[in-house]
Amino acid sequence: MFVVNALCGFVFIWVDVFQCKPVNFFWLSWDGERHGHCDNSRAIAWFSAIWDLCYDTVLLILPYRYVWQLNMPLKQRIAASIMFGFGIV
């Protein structure tokens, strides 16, 4: 999961940096004298947010399978599950 997160982070940074053609159009377009084009930054931000929510959900669910396979009483497994559930906060 660490590698997936690192790769996706790299991809989102790459897309964010190179969303404008030419690249410097992002910070030089304010005067209206330059010619260029930028992709829809709002769509990029929404996709990034949705991806992060899905990734966080997977990370929160991942330990539950291992908690329920532990050789401990049911009360302790429930307590451990609740402890991992506080990760949502």
Through-space distance between the first and last CA atoms of the chain, rounded to whole angstroms: 20
Nearest to 78 by CA among 68, 63, 66: 68
Q: What is the pTM of this model?
A: 0.69
Tokens 């329920």 correspond to 68
Say if residues 84 and 65 touch (Cβ distance below 8 Å): no
Say if residues 56 and 84 touch (Cβ distance below 8 Å): no
Confidence at residue 87, expressed as pLDDT on a 0 to 100 scale: 74
Question: pLDDT at residue 11 above 90?
Answer: yes
Say if residues 72 and 81 touch (Cβ distance below 8 Å): no
Task: Dump pLDDT digits (tens) for 56-77.
Answer: 888 888 888 888 888 999 999 9
How many residues are listed for the chain in this entry? 89
